[in-house]
Amino acid sequence: MMADPGQRGRRAEVLVIVWQLAGAWACGSLLLGTVALLFLHTHALGAPPPIVPNAAWLTILTPLERLAVFALVAALFVALGVVGWRTASASWLTGDARARLLWTLVVGLGGLAGWDFAAAVTFAAHFGSATQLILAYLAGGLPFALIAAMLVRPWRVNVAAVAISAALVGAGYLMVAGQPVPYPFPRSVFVLYAY
């Protein structure tokens, strides 16, 4: 018995969406996991402990490590561009070259913001370096996949991605809402996150 052509087409659409989300997750996890490794390695060598991830962190790195961080972030955007180009039919925002560039920027910048938020939560919750590294490599791509899921064609996936993102932000807030921030930062970790 032959499969219905419409059903085969729907399977192909779902497969492209899965490839897009998995690709965004893999790009974020592999490349930014390595960025986390650079920061945690520098911290293990005696640099002062980071309080909240931000651009000032770059000052604890050597010039070569800074170059590596910039190269990894640039590689992230290139890899996301390739994912968006190869899976263009999955998203309503990848119709032409300009739209694919916009998709890459939205997923990249939104994912970086989510990754930074997750890093702030793990530092404020006093996760160990090994735990942070494992989370960076395994779950570091989740913010990128969630942003990409907000841009795919089925609206139900968009709603689910927004709901999961809101739940994760709420969970992060609850994890560290009462955590004291070490001196000289006597404020909430989320006030520090804004800096």
pLDDT at 57: 66
Please, are residues 189 and 124 in contact by the beta-carbon 8 Å criterion?
yes
At which residue do the structure tokens 């000032």 appear? 56
| Domain ranges across the chain | 15-193
Per-residue pLDDT of 172-187, as tens digits, reads: 988 887 766 554 444 4
Per-residue pLDDT of 77-86, as tens digits, reads: 999 999 999 9
Nearest Cα neighbor of 45 from 68, 64, 61, 66 is 61
Residue 52 pLDDT > 60: no
- Percent residues over pLDDT 90 in the chain: 50
Please, are residues 150 and 160 in contact by the beta-carbon 8 Å criterion?
no
Cα separation of 111 and 133, whole Å? 17
Q: Which residue has the higher pLDDT, 11 or 52?
A: 11
Task: Output the pTM of the full model.
Answer: 0.84
Confidence of residue 142 (pLDDT cuts 50, 70, 90): very high
pLDDT at 77: 97
Residue 141 pLDDT > 80: yes
pLDDT at 45: 54
Residue 50 pLDDT > 60: no
Mean pLDDT across 64-76: 93
Residue 8 pLDDT > 90: no
Q: Which two tokens stand for residue 137?
A: 């490599």
Residue 46 pLDDT > 60: no
Residue 102 pLDDT > 90: yes
Confidence of residue 123 (pLDDT cuts 50, 70, 90): confident
